[in-house]
Amino acid sequence: MPEFFNVLPPEEALALLLDRIPERPAAGVSVVETTGALGRVVAAEIRATESLPMFPRSTMDGYSVRAADTYGASDGLPAWFALVGEVPMGRGPDISLDVGETAVAYTGGMLAGNADAVVMMEHTQAVDAHTIEVMRPVAPGENVAQPGEDVRVEETVLPAGHVIRPQDIGGLLALGIEHIKVAERPRVGILSMGDEVVAPSITPGPGEVRDVNTYTVAGQVTAAGGTAAPLGLVGDDYERQLDAARRGLAESDMLVLSAGSSVSARDRTVDIVAELGEPGPLVHGLALRPGKPAIVGLCDGKPVIGLPGNPVSAMVVSSLLVRPTVYRLMGCADPPPLNERAALLAQDVPSAPGREDYVPVRLIESSNGTAIAHPVWGKSGFIFTLVRANGLVRVPADAGGIYAGEQVQVREL
């Protein structure tokens, strides 16, 4: 019954798909408040609307001076200055310095008129209320942030495709940019198939199980910035499956089909993907365990991913394929990397050369601070294998396994 799978490494399968998706927001663009844009993807390059700082700004608490007046000053031979006032925070200077004059300057504040440098408080000594000694010379510009030194007007501050972080929000607001264009969240339809699958609200009868994959995939879609759209459940009836997939794809930017992607009598997902649109299936089968019977397709410009029905297989495939595809649909070619951490493997992990293995592990900090990756063994139908794990160890395709004690990279899960 099993036919020959023409399997591809997951990375190549993903590239085949992504190369066919234009780098622009698939679901359109909307304008949002900058303050609420955390995690959204920039839809069009953002340039600085002005230069920052807007004025020469002291970077220290101290005294603004004409630098030339300090030349030659030292501990033994301090320069004397007449203290003529201060420039308060948040104000322009109403003082202008003559030779030998100085004014108090605050970190972040403006300098007195004619001043071109600031002497740090620590390099001065008060003689009386109107006179200070300066013990170190300063060069012009010393302890002063110049206009445009932080960012120059017209400079690109965020490129299209950038994922907004807290500091980006701060930078945009520093420029007074209160609204930005971001990619709309792509809508990802998720359809679970199989006669045995019932909704979580149902008490399963004999042979039935509650739907899991719709919700693990929905969580991954949400975490990637997409909108998960569960399309419900459909039994093992080809016409009903095709109809549900067709309607789901029409109202989505991407479709995920769970179950029915292995090569057995009842699994005709690949035929569904072929009927949904051109070119249809690009890849049927990944050089991957768990997750071999996955399907990668593109139907009339929309990505369609077929996941194995087993919860562990489904989640591994989804983390490799769905996440980057969701980002790409927002115009982001370079998603934030997943958390990875080096650890020592606690047990031998056997593998077959020619395919990548992903082994669920639980990372535990040993008493000396070393991270140890303990494999969590469990059949790929067992969702609690992944609940107990907090990482995945990748065994490369060219390795025949990894021995206990070897260092591995553990990807967060």
Residues 64 and 398: their CA atoms lie apart, in Å, by 65
Kindly state the smallest distance separating residue 279's Cβ from a copy of itself, in Å. Answer: 29
Residues 63 and 105: their CA atoms lie apart, in Å, by 5
Task: Report H helices in 200-359.
Answer: 213-224, 238-250, 269-276, 311-329
Longest dimension (CA), the chain: 98
Kindly state the smallest distance separating residue 284's Cβ from a copy of itself, in Å. Answer: 17
- Is 125 or 279 the residue whose CB approaches a copy of itself more closely? 125
| Terminal C-alpha separation, the chain | 34
What part of residues 293-322 is at the interface with a copy of itself (CB under 8 A)? 309-311, 315
Report the length, in residues, of the chain: 413
Does residue 245 contact residue 238 with C-beta atoms inside 8 Å?
no
- Is 20 or 266 the residue whose CB approaches a copy of itself more closely? 266
Does residue 186 contact residue 228 with C-beta atoms inside 8 Å?
no
Which residue of 44, 145, 346, 399 would you call a contact of a copy of itself, by CB under 8 A? 145
Region binding a copy of itself by CB under 8 A among candidate stretches 68-76, 169-177, 237-245, 281-289: 169-177
Region binding a copy of itself by CB under 8 A among candidate stretches 16-24, 198-206, 247-255, 280-288: 198-206
Phi-psi category of residue 259: left, alpha or beta, with phi > 0 → left and psi -120 to 50 → alpha: left
- Is 14 or 104 the residue whose CB approaches a copy of itself more closely? 104
Which residue of 67, 160, 197, 256 would you call a contact of a copy of itself, by CB under 8 A? 197
Beta strands in 152-217 (DSSP E): 156-158, 179-183, 187-193, 197-198, 209-210
222 binds a copy of itself (CB under 8 A): yes
Sign of CA dihedral 313, 315, 321, 325: positive
Phi, psi of 121 (to 5 degrees): -45, -40
* Residue linked to tokens 């340039």: 47
Phi, psi of 299 (to 5 degrees): -125, 110
Amino acid found at 201: S
Kindly state the smallest distance separating residue 177's Cβ from a copy of itself, in Å. Answer: 8
42 binds a copy of itself (CB under 8 A): no
- Is 222 or 351 the residue whose CB approaches a copy of itself more closely? 222
290 binds a copy of itself (CB under 8 A): no
Which residue of 79, 157, 180, 256 would you call a contact of a copy of itself, by CB under 8 A? 157
Task: Sketch the per residue contact string, 362 through 401, with a copy of itself: x for CB under 8 A, - otherwise.
Answer: ----------------xx-xxxxxxx-x------------
Which residue of 24, 136, 210, 374 would you call a contact of a copy of itself, by CB under 8 A? 210
Residues 51 and 92: their CA atoms lie apart, in Å, by 18
Does residue 194 contact residue 306 with C-beta atoms inside 8 Å?
no
Kindly state the smallest distance separating residue 137's Cβ from a copy of itself, in Å. Answer: 21
Residues 300 and 159: their CA atoms lie apart, in Å, by 28
Q: Which run of H or of E encompasses 254?
A: strand 254-258
Kindly state the smallest distance separating residue 104's Cβ from a copy of itself, in Å. Answer: 9
- Is 184 or 211 the residue whose CB approaches a copy of itself more closely? 211
150 binds a copy of itself (CB under 8 A): yes
Q: Which residues of 42-56 are buried (b: 16+ CB within 10 A; e: fewer)?
A: bbbebebeebbbeeb
226 binds a copy of itself (CB under 8 A): no
- Kindly state the number of chain residues that form the binding site for a copy of itself, as judged by CB under 8 A: 99
Kindly state the smallest distance separating residue 330's Cβ from a copy of itself, in Å. Answer: 18
Decide: helix, strand or coil at residue 388. helix
What part of residues 45-104 is at the interface with a copy of itself (CB under 8 A)? 52-55, 57, 59, 61, 87-93
Which residue of 17, 183, 212, 330 would you call a contact of a copy of itself, by CB under 8 A? 212
179 binds a copy of itself (CB under 8 A): no
Task: Copy the structure tokens of residue 387.
Answer: 């609940």
- Is 72 or 206 the residue whose CB approaches a copy of itself more closely? 206
109 binds a copy of itself (CB under 8 A): yes
Kindly state the smallest distance separating residue 275's Cβ from a copy of itself, in Å. Answer: 23
What part of residues 246-265 is at the interface with a copy of itself (CB under 8 A)? 262, 264
